[in-house]
Structure 1
Amino acid sequence: MIQEMSQRSRDILRLVVETYMTTGEPVGSRFISKKLEHRLSPASIRNTMADLEEAGLLYAPHTSAGRLPTESGLRLFVDGLLQVGDLTQDERSSIEGRCAASGRGFQDVLKEATGVLSGLSGHAGLVVAPKVDAPLRHVEFVPLSPGKALVVMVSESGQVENRMLDMPAGLTDSALAEAGEFLSQRLKGRTMAVARTEILHELQQRKAELDQLAARVVEAGLAVWGGAEANRGTLIVRGSTNLLDDVAAMADLERIRNLMEELENSEEMLRLLDLTQGGEGVRIFIGSENTLFRRAGCSLIVAPLQNQHQAIVGAIGVIGPTRMNYARVVPMVDFTAQVVGRLIG
């Protein structure tokens, strides 16, 4: 459709969208006339804006007001008129530096990446990753405080995942070490899904050979790692309060709250991940184009997370108002996805 438009229509649509992204306010013909390189009367501009409105690309929120872009107008702008910018060296260094700290586990890298995206974009950063039951290399129980311990599981690819456990009273460090050694021997090179039932059966048969407290620790570790919460995958959202900065009424506030609740739903989370399965790089979903954001009136810029073997292991992106600065956020999401992909093996 963009090829069928006159240069005048393209210029006016571009100015309306770019001004809307900056101010969030309707754009009038007098303002446009001052910004156009080729001078046109406000009357001529109004006629062109009326044509764009008839085509479904602009609309007037109030009588005698200026115009705002519709979702179709934003889509046309993004697909045909958007000039994607580039990150500054400071922005690239910030993303790389915060994500690339050595010794961090998979979850830590994802959390840091989400936080830096939120901070740089001024919107909400999001990461989603399915539960991956990878072959394991090592299991260890780390005492934290009386009654609490951390079970640390290291996959063969080097990814580290942690879970907090409630520990039985009177537990000793030697019992924790025994539990870790017991699981490491039986899980090495195998997935939890494959080995869990077998290990539980063995515990029932050989409790006399394993310290009673150590056996209880093993059972607790298997329970927390195999429960429903452990299998729902990873969803990290940072900067969700940024979404509230653009709301103008309580109805908008309620829509944002509903969005955050829907994101916590595992089915919706996996649906979000499906958006990137084509591995086509950064994708932009504007408003109702994505059912997840239809009621909230938000846009999503999302890219697949691909590991060093080019397998898609998740998705990372930014949620913001439909008037967010796409030209700035697109390269931000793209570069962050590349950095994280290099770090997760």
Structure 2
Amino acid sequence: MLDERAKTLLKALVERYIADGQPVGSRTLSRASGLELSPATIRNVMADLEDLGLIASPHTSAGRVPTARGYRLFVDTMLTARPVGESPAELEQAREQIQPDQPQRVIAHAAQILSNLSQFVGVVTAPKKASVFHHIEFMRLGERRVLVILVSPDGDVQNRVIFTAQDHTPVQLVEATNYVNAHYAGLTLEAVRERLQHEVEQLRGEIAQLMQVAVQVSSEAQAETSEQLVVSGERNLLTVQDFGNDLGSLRRLFELFEQKTQLMRLLDTSSRAEGVRIYIGGESQVVPFEELSIVSAPYEVDGQIVGTLGVIGPTRMAYDRMIQIVDITSRLVTHALSQK
């Protein structure tokens, strides 16, 4: 959509705004872009960029600032990577802190490193655990109501009440309990699903029905309880110039961090894709706050994606630097957790 002149001016405007935090005027943009253009020509190009929704003009200034759409075009097509630290010591510190260790310590160190290097907020979802059950039991509560008791290998007990399409006698439930524990105990829910696809025809109708419901219930229970989120550096956002004295914005930010399940939903999107992803506030429902952007990446254990980490900061952030920080931290965490 843009010619090279417009791209150059947009790139210069975004970079200048990220660096200074002030709306960029035509005279400043002329110097920053290095283009020999008249102020009138630059104003015309800026007007075109504004018509395209890439920049906007604050009411209190004659300069322009990037919009969410402008940031998106910038990060997708105009970014050039740069080194992580101002000195090699920064990166060496990260390598020293993220060493093979217990997963809880690795992710805690990773969150701190992300926060320290970015000066924003570092977030890491804990590795997902395999959903193995040690014992399952079905108990009749009433007509078409069954209590499912799931016991994990480490002794964690989860109870769920299910409603079945038909009534089951206590004898049938005991039979189902014995069959399931004899044939499926110690397997992951994924393995149980695979076996069910092949064996459901052979199982008695009531056992198959209970098994399918039990797998669904235990999957939901695991989704609610197994994933944890480590957050570091929330207070860094208090010093961000962009938020100024807007207490409403700050209150919404801290509500976001208090509701960790919402953060996990934001990060979960990136765990389904490879590499670093950037989510810019205001461009979609993925990040509901216009003031915030997220730079995230999945990390692996033995070749399997098990979690996500990232940096959360203001939309006006140095995206090139954040990409490098997140990418290298993801690699360090993958290496640390994959060591036997």
Aligned to 1:303: 297
Determine the C-alpha separation between the residues in 2 that align with 1:290 and 1:96. Answer: 35
Give the drift of 1:38.
2.8
Aligned residues: 256
> Are the aligned partners of 2:298 and 2:305 in contact in 1 as well (CA < 8 Å)?
yes
Match of 2:318 among 318, 325, 330: 325
Aligned to 1:240: 234
> Are the aligned partners of 1:259 and 1:292 in contact in 2 as well (CA < 8 Å)?
no
Determine the C-alpha separation between the residues in 1 that align with 2:311 and 2:252. Answer: 17
1:44 matches 2:41 = yes
One-letter amino acid matched to 2:232: R
> Are the aligned partners of 1:243 and 1:320 in contact in 2 as well (CA < 8 Å)?
yes
One-letter amino acid matched to 1:193: S
CA deviation profile, 1:37-65 (whole Å, cap 9, x unmatched)? 23111111111100100111111002651
Determine the C-alpha separation between the residues in 1 that align with 2:232 and 2:57. Answer: 34
Secondary structure of 2:235's partner? helix
Match of 2:58 among 58, 61, 72: 61
Determine the C-alpha separation between the residues in 1 that align with 2:61 and 2:128. Answer: 53
Secondary structure of 1:291's partner? coil
Determine the C-alpha separation between the residues in 2 that align with 1:27 and 1:240. Answer: 29
Determine the C-alpha separation between the residues in 2 that align with 1:96 and 1:315. Answer: 18
Q: Which moved more, 1:14-23 or 1:261-270?
A: 261-270
Q: What TM-score do you get using the length of structure 1 for normalisation?
A: 0.67
RMSD: 2.8
Secondary structure of 2:310's partner? strand
Determine the C-alpha separation between the residues in 2 that align with 1:76 and 1:84. Answer: 16
Determine the C-alpha separation between the residues in 2 that align with 1:293 and 1:263. Answer: 13
Q: Which moved more, 1:73-82 or 1:121-130?
A: 121-130
1:291 matches 2:285 = yes
Match of 1:258 among 249, 252, 272: 252
Give the drift of 1:95.
1.2
- Label 1:197 to 1:61 Cα distance change in 2 as closer, same or farther (>3 A): closer
CA deviation profile, 1:211-265 (whole Å, cap 9, x unmatched)? xxxxxxxxxxxxxxxx99x9252211111111122244443x3333323333443
- Label 1:248 to 1:288 Cα distance change in 2 as closer, same or farther (>3 A): closer
> Are the aligned partners of 1:268 and 1:292 in contact in 2 as well (CA < 8 Å)?
no
Secondary structure of 2:225's partner? coil
Q: Which runs of 5+ in 2 are unaligned?
A: 134-149, 158-220
One-letter amino acid matched to 1:92: L
Aligned to 1:99: 98
CA deviation profile, 1:139-177 (whole Å, cap 9, x unmatched)? xxxxxxxxxxxxxxxxxxxxxxxxxxxxxxxxxxxxxxx
Q: What TM-score do you get using the length of structure 2 for normalisation?
A: 0.68
**Aligned-pair identity (%):** 38
The within-5 A match list for 1:148-297 is 193-194=152-153, 196=155, 231=225, 233-246=227-240, 247-251=242-246, 253-265=247-259, 267-289=261-283, 291=285, 293-295=287-289, 297=291
CA deviation profile, 1:272-310 (whole Å, cap 9, x unmatched)? 2421232311000001245363235100000001112x2
Aligned to 2:83: 86
Determine the C-alpha separation between the residues in 1 that align with 2:10 and 2:319. Answer: 16
- Label 1:126 to 1:267 Cα distance change in 2 as closer, same or farther (>3 A): closer
Determine the C-alpha separation between the residues in 1 that align with 2:116 and 2:12. Answer: 27
Give the drift of 1:328.
0.7
CA deviation profile, 1:66-110 (whole Å, cap 9, x unmatched)? 00011101100111111122335333312111111x6x3211111
Aligned to 2:10: 13
Match of 2:74 among 74, 77, 95: 77
